[in-house]
Amino acid sequence: MDKKQGVNSLGYSVEELPNLKTVKRMDFISEEGNILPNLPVDAYHLPRWQARGFKPYTIPKVNPLMCPMCGAGPFKAKIGLMGHQRTHTQN
């Protein structure tokens, strides 16, 4: 008798658990501003997070380094933008 048959003989049923690696996950932010990373968002958990006041959290996009005078860019580093802006100065 294997374990599954032994459990069934006691009146219990055996159910397969979902593979935790395939459950989609997402970061949430609480009302206090705490970031809660990597929470499951399947059909069971998502309404529970929302009922507790958690909202989906996305990393804010950083504005690319663009020249405010002529719109050139984006520059890879601030030093490149500063060097470009020196070309706008009048001699």
- Which H or E run includes 47? helix 45-51
How many Å apart are CA 90 and CA 83, to the nearest integer? 14
How many Å apart are CA 35 and CA 52, to the nearest integer? 14
Do 52 and 66 have their domain in common? Answer: no
Domain span at residue 88 reads 61-91
pLDDT for 90: 59
Write the pLDDT tens digit of every residue in 45-66. Answer: 999 999 999 999 887 777 788 8
Instruction: Give pLDDT < 70 ranges for the chain.
Output: 18, 20, 90-91
How many Å apart are CA 10 and CA 70, to the nearest integer? 77
Stated pTM of the model = 0.46
pLDDT for 47: 93
- Which H or E run includes 39? strand 35-40
How many Å apart are CA 76 and CA 66, to the nearest integer? 10
State the total domains in the chain. 2
Do 56 and 70 have their domain in common? Answer: no
